[in-house]
């Protein structure tokens, strides 16, 4: 006997499959720009260190050269240099490297697959919490398209936040099935894997405690302690492992100066309300918080909603020492998805009216469906646009690297490239926000790990190897090479190679010395550099030099000074490598006779032997005067 096909029943019986299919459809749509995203920011670092480590291991004759690579970067964060235990994330990155090499698409496919799995697990968790199919499906779909997720999904190294979210959600799912021994075993495994992904997993027992207090409180505290104890012991064992390995927590810095409670609160409140708020002001922070508290009050009888709101702040406890970051909100957004789904499944539970065939339940569910569709649409559109930012930022970074490669198709080994003006961010996506980013970006571009690259606010007047140092300036989306600075740098005067002295005799011009302050009417005449000091703080800057402290004897200044009073005071300042400017701590004063006669002033600078002087500054007097400088000589040891 044939029965008519009932589509509603068919979907209801296979609602999990259809939920997963919706997730698999929405994620590629919302994250489509990511498929065109090239390596960006810390992508260069994480992929680069594996690429060059693998090259070195492949060239080694030692049979065990590959073994350290399985652990090396799982215990050390390459950018912050903090000790960590993130071996699960590290192994997945190694797997991607061996599978995809330097092709970004493969890494992004892995991140997108993880995001889809987490979204489906959120569906399963909501089903365990509420036993309502619509709410469960909605929770997973909302999580899949939340617009605050681009950094965690698009940024390859942020995969650790995806992995820890997956493990924490699975742990909660298994925990809801206790006292099953199999559930306990699998929950312990997923918690352990989460702890080996990112430190956020340390807050998992607190989520279990919140679940018990909301759902299992009637069992009594003895039963709850028995249920939770294995998970607390696992976290304590993890903490003990960190202490044993690192002698402490692993080098986690103290509270960042920017991470004030107000900055922390407003930042994550903005993330929770994204995309409905931009740069959030204090009154908006208070308003959004009040809205969440109001919803918690109104829907306090829905345990899934309460659990979702309680979930949100708990994973952030491990991030309190740092300024708010979008990727840190990936795990808390699980709670937001649970709370929103629990509300939208039946947003008008308190109405007690009916009219004809339309009861309040139907009206409430219809309203919830309309709001859910609208919210999913807003999330998806916003998420797509934010992912475009990440794609565009990566294209900007690749364009910069292509311009550098066009200027220098090849570079000598061990060259140093110095960049000024590189963009740190483009809209809400980073470009080169850390000097290590451009370092590995250049190394990968030329496939040469010996190359060094860095960013600076201003070009440094020094270099260890001038002949292998290149300066680049970024302005108006264009990279230009500062050949003038390179030429000047390579002509720096030094005491090396048997040079006994460096002399500026001003026979024809100022020979690279420049006027900085309170000096006028400068001219070179009859072998003298003549100047009028017009204030109390005259400054003259030397050409760039490259002098090690142990090679510098003394400075001899020969000049004639006429002034209203005598003696005056002069001073020598010196700037060493790594300094952005001259410092009042590095100065040597000397007396100046203002009698109109030519005198030589020999001054020994108290320079540390290991310091490298990059530039000198002469303050010839401390009052108005007429000067005639005959020569300046650096005596080499």
**pLDDT tens figures, 450-504:** 999 998 876 765 666 778 889 999 998 899 998 877 876 776 677 766 778 889 9
pLDDT, residue 2, reads 55
> Which class for 430: exposed (0-12), middle (13-18), buried (19 or more C-beta within 10 A)?
buried
> Which class for 360: exposed (0-12), middle (13-18), buried (19 or more C-beta within 10 A)?
middle
pLDDT, residue 349, reads 67
pLDDT, residue 373, reads 95
Residue 499: CA count within 13 A, CB half-sphere: 19
pLDDT, residue 9, reads 65
pLDDT, residue 352, reads 46
Q: What are phi and psi of 260, to 5 degrees?
A: -70, 160
SS3 content of the chain, % helix, strand, coil (to 5): 50, 20, 30
pLDDT, residue 426, reads 86
The 3-state DSSP class for residue 462 equals coil
User: What is the four-CA torsion angle of 621, 626, 629, 632, rounded to 10 degrees?
Assistant: 10
Sign (positive/negative) of CA torsion 488, 489, 491, 492?
Answer: positive
User: Which pLDDT tens digit goes with each residue over 570-596?
Assistant: 999 999 877 878 999 999 999 999 999
Q: For 233-274, list the strands marked E by DSSP.
A: none
pLDDT, residue 322, reads 80
Residues of the chain with pLDDT under 50: 1, 254-255, 351-358
Q: Residue 420 CA to chain centroid, in angstroms?
A: 19
pLDDT, residue 578, reads 73
The 3-state DSSP class for residue 635 equals strand
Cβ-contact 617, 540 below 8 angstroms: yes
pLDDT, residue 357, reads 46
Q: What are phi and psi of 287, to 5 degrees?
A: -65, -45
List Cβ neighbours of 97 (8 Å cut-off, separation of 6 or more).
47, 50, 51, 54
Which residue's structure tokens are 């931009």?
A: 278
Q: What distance in Å separates the CA atoms of residue 230 and residue 226, rounded to the nearest whole number? A: 8
Q: Which helix (H) or strand (E) holds 619?
A: strand 612-619
What domains, with CATH codes, occur in the chain?
37-345 (no CATH), 409-490 (no CATH), 501-636 (2.60.120.260)
């Amino acid at each position: 006997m044939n029965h008519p096909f009932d589509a509603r029943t068919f979907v209801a019986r296979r609602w999990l499959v259809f939920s997963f299919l919706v997730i698999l459809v929405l994620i590629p749509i919302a994250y489509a720009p990511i498929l065109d995203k090239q390596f960006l920011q810390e992508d260069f670092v994480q992929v680069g260190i594996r690429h060059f480590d693998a090259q070195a291991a492949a060239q080694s004759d030692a049979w065990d050269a590959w073994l350290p690579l399985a652990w090396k970067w799982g215990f050390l964060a390459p950018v912050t240099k903090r000790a960590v235990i993130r071996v699960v994330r590290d192994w997945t990155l190694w797997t991607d490297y061996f599978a995809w090499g330097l092709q970004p698409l493969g890494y992004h496919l892995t991140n997108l697959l993880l995001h889809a799995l987490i979204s489906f697990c959120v569906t399963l968790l909501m089903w365990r919490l509420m036993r309502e199919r619509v709410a469960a499906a909605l929770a997973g779909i909302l999580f899949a398209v939340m617009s605050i997720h681009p950094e965690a999904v698009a940024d390859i190294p942020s995969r650790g936040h995806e992995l820890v979210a997956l493990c924490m959600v699975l742990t909660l799912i298994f925990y809801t099935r206790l006292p099953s021994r199999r559930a306990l075993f699998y929950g312990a495994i997923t918690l352990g894997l989460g702890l080996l992904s990112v430190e956020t997993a340390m807050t998992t027992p607190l989520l279990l405690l919140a679940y018990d207090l909301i759902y299992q409180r009637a069992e009594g505290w003895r039963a709850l302690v028995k249920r939770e104890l294995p998970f607390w012991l696992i976290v304590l064992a993890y903490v003990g492992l960190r202490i044993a390995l690192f002698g402490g927590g692993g080098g986690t810095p103290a509270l960042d100066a920017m991470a004030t409670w107000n900055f922390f609160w407003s930042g994550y409140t903005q993330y929770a309300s994204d995309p409905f708020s931009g740069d959030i002001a204090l009154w908006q922070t208070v308003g959004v918080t009040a809205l969440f508290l109001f919803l918690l009050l109104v829907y306090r009888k829905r345990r899934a909603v309460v659990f979702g709101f309680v979930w949100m702040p708990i994973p952030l406890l491990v991030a309190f020492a740092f300024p708010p970051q979008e990727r840190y909100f990936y795990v808390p957004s699980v709670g937001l998805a649970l709370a929103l789904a629990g509300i939208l499944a039946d947003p008008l539970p308190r109405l007690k009216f009916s009219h004809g065939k339309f009861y309040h339940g139907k009206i409430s569910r219809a309203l919830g469906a309309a709001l859910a569709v609208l919210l999913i649409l807003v999330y998806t559109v916003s998420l797509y646009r934010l992912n475009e930012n990440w794609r565009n930022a990566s294209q900007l970074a690749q364009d910069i690297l292509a311009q550098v490669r066009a200027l220098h198709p090849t570079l000598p080994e061990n060259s140093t490239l110095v960049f000024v003006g590189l963009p740190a961010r483009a809209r809400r996506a980073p470009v080169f926000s850390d000097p290590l980013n451009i370092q590995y970006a250049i190394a990968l571009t030329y496939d040469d790990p010996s190359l060094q690259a860095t960013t600076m606010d201003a070009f440094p007047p020094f270099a260890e190897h001038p002949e292998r140092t290149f300066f680049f300036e970024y302005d108006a989306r264009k990279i230009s090479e500062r050949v003038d600075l390179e030429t000047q740098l390579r002509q720096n005067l030094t005491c090396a190679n048997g040079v006994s002295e460096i002399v500026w005799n001003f026979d024809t011009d100022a020979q690279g010395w420049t006027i900085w302050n309170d000096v006028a009417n400068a001219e070179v005449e009859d072998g003298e550099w003549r100047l009028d000091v017009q204030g109390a703080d005259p400054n003259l800057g030397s050409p760039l030099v490259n002098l090690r402290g142990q090679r510098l004897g003394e400075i001899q200044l020969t000049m004639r000074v006429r002034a209203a009073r005598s003696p005056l005071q002069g001073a020598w300042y010196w700037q060493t490598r790594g300094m952005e400017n001259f410092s009042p701590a590095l100065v040597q004063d000397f007396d100046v006779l203002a009698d109109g006669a030519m005198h030589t002033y020999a001054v020994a600078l108290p320079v540390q032997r290991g310091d490298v002087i990059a530039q000198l500054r002469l303050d010839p007097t401390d009052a108005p005067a007429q000067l005639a400088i005959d020569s300046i000589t650096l005596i080499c040891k």
